Amino acid sequence: AQSVAQPEDQVNVAEGNPLTVKCTYSVSGNPYLFWYVQYPNRGLQFLLKYITGDNLVKGSYGFEAEFNKSQTSFHLKKPSALVSDSALYFCAVSPRSNDYKLSFGAGTTVTVRA
């Protein structure tokens, strides 16, 4: 069975500072990895994904994530956070052997203060 852990319920940063949201995963075989963002009363918006190739993935709105196979991690990063980045962030994993469903973490609430 696959699973995702997001160890921080909340992350607070000042605008302009770097933002990191942590994610570790457990899956049999090689994974597909995803980050989604959710704004209040909205569905999930896709940010980026790792399928294969370069371990550093660049996504929407200036976000990037690094796949680290040895540490089974896929941390989300943004060099300079904006107040508008305040939202709920979800990491998700899908095993390549059974790649029809996503397993999500519990989410991390990011608050960026002006």
Other Cβ atoms closer than 10 A to 53: 8
Asked if residue 22 lies in contact with residue 33, where contact means CB atoms within 8 angstroms, the answer is no
Given the complex with another protein, which of 16 and 96 has the nearer CB atom? Answer: 96
Characterize the bridge pairing of strands 10-14 and 108-113. parallel
Min separation Cβ 36 and another protein, Å: 8
Q: Which is nearer to another protein, 96 or 113 (CB)?
A: 96
Burial 38-48 (b: 16+ CB within 10 A, else e): eeeeeebeebb
Q: Is 49 exposed, middle or buried (0-12, 13-18, 19+ CB in 10 A)?
A: middle
**Please, what is the minimum distance in Å from the beta carbon of residue 48 to another protein?**
10
Provide, rounded to whole angstroms, the least separation between the CB of residue 79 and another protein: 24
* Least Å from the CB of residue 62 to another protein: 19
**Smaller CB separation from another protein, 73 or 109:** 109
Q: Summarize as ranges the residues that interact with another protein (CB under 8 A).
A: 4, 32, 34, 36, 41-46, 49, 51, 90, 92, 94, 96, 99-107
Cβ proximity to another protein, 22 vs 49, nearer residue: 49
